[in-house]
């Protein structure tokens, strides 16, 4: 495949995403694609993403991968992953444009139905996504949404063996499930918890956990991992929506509903007729016209998709988290107790 890099459309922890134009007149690949590129330090994540996407195969609710390519740009080796282009960007960007209002419930139901179908495919193939969040749900011209960013995805096949001893943060702390905080378990159930957080954020325009500006993120991990507190379910949501969330926000992953069960929940088990779908696209376009207004500067950017490992011999969640909170603020840039920063 021959392609030319166009404008930059997104930034991740590891990579930059740009538009890519296919310069070969061929039916095999679309004229416009997205290219996710990284210099050497992000190559492992891109390579994991490619291999997971290859294993997953085609699914209408998962962003397609057209292949990989190595280029040398400005004397630097770049690893590139060519992907299906989502012209409307991510749901995170879209929701931020809505002045903290969130999306109408009918739109949330529709998007979540799609994400659930994508997750069903991922889980059925023996993987967990491990980084479900609005920034990784992409929007297409026809109103469709698809799951993207498989850089942290892992094969689980029902095996929830913790990845490592100690505390490992994969993905975004705001979306972390209790078992991930407490036991480093990142299985399909953790995707369901994160999906619940995505529903809250999509509907309310606010993150599922309210966090005071400047507070240490370890205090959030304690709230998630220890005690009975759950993310706040928006009052304005329908009873069906509230019930759906109550099935996602179950602290015990064994008792949490699976994706398959949630697909049969009345909140998402609706099949829109074609005319309703058109109506949806119109509504969708109107939403896009709403101008972005400045919000709180505390947007959690530096929390996104960080992976930090700590190798300690502390066993109980309270001990493990308590030991981290007691240090005033972690140094993300060096080794020692925080081994990896991504
Ligand atoms: N296929 C695509 N089409 C359009 N925009 C995309 C596409 N893939 C990614 N983006 C944009 O680029 C951003 C970063 O992409 P992505 O999340 O895949 O990168 P990352 O390095 O894995 O980031 P993260 O820090 O979330 O792990 C997305 O939030 C989205 O706005």
Ligand 1 atom with least separation from CA of 135: 29
Residue 319: its pLDDT value, please?
Answer: 52
Ligand 1 atom at minimal distance to the Cα of residue 63: 1
> Is 60 exceeded by the pLDDT of residue 293?
no
Among 202, 172, 10, 199, smallest CA distance to 100 is for 202
Structure tokens at 165: 């001893």
Token couple for 180: 């991930």
- In this structure, which residue's CA is closest to atom 18 in ligand 1? 149
Kindly tell me if the per-residue pLDDT of 16 is higher than 50. Answer: yes
What lies within 8 Å, CB to CB, of 163 at 6+ separation is 154, 170, 184, 186
User: Average pLDDT for residues 248-265, to the nearest whole number?
Assistant: 97
Q: Which atom of ligand 1 is nearest to the CA of 84?
A: 1
- What's the maximum distance between 2 C-alpha atoms anywhere in the chain? 60
Q: What is the per-residue pLDDT for 96?
A: 92
pLDDT at 159: 53
Ligand 1 center–CA 176 separation, angstroms? 19
Residues in the annotated binding site: 36
Length reported for the chain: 342
Alpha carbon dihedral 227, 308, 34, 48, in 10-degree steps, equals -100
Phi-psi category of residue 295: left, alpha or beta, with phi > 0 → left and psi -120 to 50 → alpha: beta
Please list, in sequence order, all residues whose beta carbon lies within 8 angstroms of the beta carbon of residue 328, skipping any fewer than 6 positions away: none
177 falls in which pLDDT band (50, 70, 90)? Answer: very high
pLDDT greater than 80 at residue 321 = no
Q: Give the pLDDT confidence score for residue 308 in this predicted structure.
A: 36
**Hey, which of 90, 93, 95 would you mutate to test ligand 1's pocket, going by the most ligand atoms within 8 Å of its Cβ?**
90
28-64 tens-digit pLDDT: 789 999 999 999 888 988 999 999 999 999 999 999 9
Any residues with Cβ below 6 Å from ligand 1, and which?
9-10, 12-15, 17, 34, 36, 63, 83-86, 89-90, 93, 135-136, 138, 148-149, 151, 304-305
Residue whose CA is at the smallest distance from ligand 1 atom 29: 135
Give the three-class secondary structure for 146. Answer: strand
The residue with greater pLDDT, 69 or 290, is: 69
Q: What is the pTM of this model?
A: 0.81
Confidence of residue 129 (pLDDT cuts 50, 70, 90): very high
CA of 35 to the centre of ligand 1 (A): 10
**148: CA distance to ligand 1 center in Å?**
7
Whether the per-residue pLDDT at 189 is higher than 80: the answer is yes
> Where are the strands (E) in 127-199, listed by range?
127-128, 137-139, 145-147, 154-155
Percent of the chain with pLDDT over 90: 61
What pLDDT does 304 receive? Answer: 42
The closest alpha carbon to 216, from 332, 337, 136, belongs to 332
Query: Which of 54, 58, 131, 191 is labelled catalytic?
Result: 131
Tell me what percent of the chain is helix, strand and coil, each rounded to the nearest 5. Answer: 35, 15, 50
Distance separating alpha carbons of residues 245 and 232, to the nearest angstrom: 10
Q: Which ligand 1 atom sits nearest the alpha carbon of residue 92?
A: 29
User: Which residues are within 8 A (CB) of 116 and not within 5 positions of it... i.e. 6 or more apart?
Assistant: 195, 259, 262, 263, 268
Instruction: Name, in order, each residue with C-beta under 8 angstroms of 99's C-beta and a sequence gap of 6 or more.
Output: 205, 290, 291, 292, 293, 295
pLDDT of 164: 54
pLDDT at 227: 85
pLDDT > 90? residue 157: no
Residue positions forming the annotated binding site for ATP: 36
Average pLDDT score over the chain: 81
**Which atom of ligand 1 is nearest to 45's Cα?**
22
- 157 is an active site residue: no
Average pLDDT of the residues in 126-131: 96
pLDDT exceeds cutoff 90 at 99: no
d(CA 66, CA 59): 13
- Confidence bin at 65 (pLDDT 50/70/90): very high
Cβ atoms of 334 and 179 closer than 8 Å:
no
Six-digit token string for 163? 């990845």
User: Of 3, 6, 17, which is best to mutate to test ligand 1, by the most ligand atoms within 8 angstroms of its C-beta?
Assistant: 17
Task: Please give the distance, rounded to the nearest whole angstrom, from the Cα atom of residue 18 to the centre of ligand 1.
Answer: 9
Nearest CA to ligand 1 atom 5: 89
Q: How far is the CA of 86 from the centre of ligand 1 (A)?
A: 10
Q: What is the pLDDT of residue 169?
A: 66
For ligand 1, the distance from its centroid to the CA atom of residue 312, given in whole angstroms, is 32
- The mean per-residue pLDDT over the stretch 101-112 comes to 95
Rounded to the nearest 10 degrees, how much is the dihedral formed by the CA atoms of 135, 137, 138, 143? -130
CA distance 227 to 317: 11
């Amino acid at each position: 495949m021959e392609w030319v890099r166009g404008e930059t459309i997104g930034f991740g922890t590891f990579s930059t995403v740009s538009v890519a134009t296919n310069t070969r007149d061929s039916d095999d690949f679309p004229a416009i694609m997205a290219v996710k590129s990284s210099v050497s330090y992000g190559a492992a994540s891109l390579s994991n993403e490619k291999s997971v996407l290859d294993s997953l195969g085609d699914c209408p609710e998962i962003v397609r991968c057209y292949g990989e390519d190595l280029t040398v740009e400005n004397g630097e080796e770049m690893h590139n992953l060519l992907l299906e282009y989502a012209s409307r960007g991510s749901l995170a960007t879209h929701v931020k444009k809505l002045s903290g209002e969130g999306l109408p419930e009918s739109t949330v139901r529709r998007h979540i139905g799609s994400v659930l179908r994508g997750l069903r495919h991922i889980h059925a193939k023996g993987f967990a996504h491990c980084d479900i969040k609005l920034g990784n749900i992409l929007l297409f011209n026809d109103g469709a949404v698809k799951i993207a960013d498989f850089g942290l995805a892992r094969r689980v096949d029902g095996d929830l063996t913790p990845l490592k001893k100690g505390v490992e943060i994969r993905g975004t702390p705001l979306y972390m499930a209790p078992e991930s905080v407490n036991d480093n378990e990142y299985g399909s159930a953790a995707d369901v918890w994160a999906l619940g957080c995505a529903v809250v954020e999509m509907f309310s325009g606010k993150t599922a956990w309210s966090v005071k500006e400047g507070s240490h993120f370890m205090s959030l991990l304690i709230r998630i991992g220890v005690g009975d507190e759950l993310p706040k379910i928006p009052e304005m949501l329908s009873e069906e929506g509230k019930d759906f969330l109550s099935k996602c926000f179950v602290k015990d992953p064994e008792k949490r509903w699976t994706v398959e069960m949630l697909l049969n929940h009345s909140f998402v088990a609706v099949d829109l007729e074609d005319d309703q779908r058109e109506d949806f696209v119109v509504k969708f376009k109107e939403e896009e016209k709403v101008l972005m207004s400045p919000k709180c500067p505390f947007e959690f950017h530096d929390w996104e998709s960080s992976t930090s490992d700590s190798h300690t011999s502390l066993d109980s969640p309270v001990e493990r988290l308590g030991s981290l909170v007691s240090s005033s603020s972690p140094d993300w840039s060096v080794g020692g107790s925080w081994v990896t920063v991504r």
